[in-house]
A and B are shown apart, each in its own frame.
Chain A
Amino acid sequence: MTTTAPRRPQKASFRDRLLRLAGTVTTPLLPGDYLDMIAPLRAGAPLRGRIVAVRPETRDAATLVIQPGRGWHGHLPGQYVRLGVDVDGVRQWRAYSVTSAPGAADGRISVTVKAIPDGKVSNHLVRRIRPGTIVQLDQAQGDFVLPTATPERVLFLTAGSGITPVMGMLRAGLTERADVVLVHSAPTRNDVIFGAELRALADRGAVRLVERHTATSGLLDVAELDDLVPDHAQRHTWACGPVGLLDAAETHWAARGCPDRLHTERFRPTVVTPGDGGTVTFTGAGVTVAADGATTLLDAGENAGVLMPSGCRMGICYGCVVPLRQGAVRDLRNGDVTTAVPGDGVRIQTCISAAAGTCDIEL
């Protein structure tokens, strides 16, 4: 018999046994709780990353260089990564495009963040976060990526921080394989994120760059593309930017009869606007009810026959805490609104919360 390659399942179970054994030493904590203190990026830990550098790009944008944990699977150019960062002590999750090329020798990745006015997380990341900070990560995701067979002619239509996923593609060597035109809008020359790098690419003929400075020349009308890029309808186009630009592009490409050649990335997350009352779905029970703004989610669920965990019914015992998958709720005691989008990991007390919009409760 020949020697066999290491058998993975057996190895895994040995590791599990070892961890179980170590667990008898550390209980009620897990061995991982102690390992987290010294090696938060180790294999087997929840995926995290360490900020190794923060580089200003423009007056309101910065690039964060991140050393991801051992569990990082890598990314495709154009994909985004969800970042969990503690702002004012509260964990907040946001998605940012990866702007570095895949496969860096040191395993590092970078994301580039533009501070939006009143943006709690973006301002923290651009202006306050310091190297050494540990952030939570998710694996890269998103289908705003180039097909395996690179098209010969490509157009990128971007504005503001919409350049970030495209930068990931350009840095991954796309310009060597395709004829690339980039039409990018920003308020002024100095507001163009990666301005110097893009102009250098244009100077050596790797891309044709059309910069639109909207503070002086106004917003780009998609119809102008007929003059700026006459063959744009023949090009595979990736567009990323504000909703207005993307909507206009979709209408335009549809009118040209080639909507399948347009790929868009709506990078701003859905904004949850709180209202008064709303439709509440208990996802596990498969029950949907309409609840007004004065009825607690606990009452709404119980009235609809959902088995709700509950306790004091006055907000003190935390016996009714359940995950709010998405939506907005209002604290009936002081009017505070809590919003959530999937993946935020927000948990709420149903006995003092009322619907402030459509809500999905994981129960």
Chain B
Amino acid sequence: MSNNLFFRLDWLSVLIYISLVSFGLLNIYSATYEQSTSLLWDLSTVVGKQFWIFVGCLLIFPFILNIKSNFFEHLSFIFYIFSILSLLGLFVFGQKISGATSWYTIGGFSLQPAEFVKITTSLIVADFLSGIQTDIRRTKYLFKVSLLILIPVILIVFQPDPGSALVFFGLFFVFIREGLDMRWLFIVLGLVIIFITTLLLKPLIVSLVAWFIILIVFRLTKKSKTKLNPFLITLGAVVFFTFSVDFIFNSIFEQRHRDRFNIILGLETDTKGIGYNINQSKIAIGSGGFLGKGYLNGTQTKGNFVPEQHTDYIFSTIGEEWGFLGSFSLISLYTLLIFRIVYRAEKQNSTFRRVYSYAFAGMLFIHFFINIGMTLGLVPTVGIPLPYISYGGSNLMALSLMLFIYLNFDSQRLS
């Protein structure tokens, strides 16, 4: 079996994984570089820690590969319960670091359970959706599976760690893949569009435009059977949503939240306060030009102009030192990885394994989309690491494990 495993393994994904982590180490080194050279395996440095976690991941890799996929399927509920308990435990034993109670600290090491909840939730969703009677198109099941996701999401939001919570929305793609009505996708997209336009324009104007569009659609689709009611309900919903967005944004959001949106939407220019990060990140990336300034030669990186540059804003180092060419390659690698996972998932004969793989791809996408989008100033600032690149032990470990489980499932596709 082990001999066969070697040939069945998705080596392309493994290769992308190793490239990403190595490239990440290089850039963490650069982002934290302080003139003096340090050794890669020096545990007192940020790079050293990340390096040893990577080594640890590679060591457990063979073990994960050799577990039967049934093991994960059967124990998914127990894993899920344990992970939920670990989230609850944070409120009692958790360590508050930079405003969020997201970490357990044991000895010198800190662990972020939310990262591992991504795995267990993916497993439980996969387990639930692979049930023989389960049909996500039916409200009952949709409600149940949504509940499974919302429990950890709410617990994480309360830490508060909105970035990690947001990652779970990657599972929405799983629902769509597993048969959820496409209208849901349009509703979600519609809500996002209305949300943004409401912030840009006045709610009254958005309502009027919505009314106008609905009127046209109604006229165009007018057949004998077409009823007016659904259109009226939609219009009512849109108007209600518009005004509630306006209300929530202005009355419930705190100023710092409002600022993040306002800067992205160009409603405010503030290059010193909250807009500083985004502005400096854009300067750093922009100054890279086509070929970049060269490794360890980024002036913005050296001057520490971009905060959190070895974690959430690592892409700005890449953009500055490796230029358009490096950034292009990195984005291509992520795209390739997600495409690869989806491609292999579609070939799965087991629903459980397919759903899990899909969930993994969806979560990777959210990481990728929000992190790079934020660094490029396209998405509001949300603290989310760049998978396999950003510094962060729990994140690297959890996402590595998630990849290994996917590789395991993928290799068992034919068995």
| Interaction A to B | no
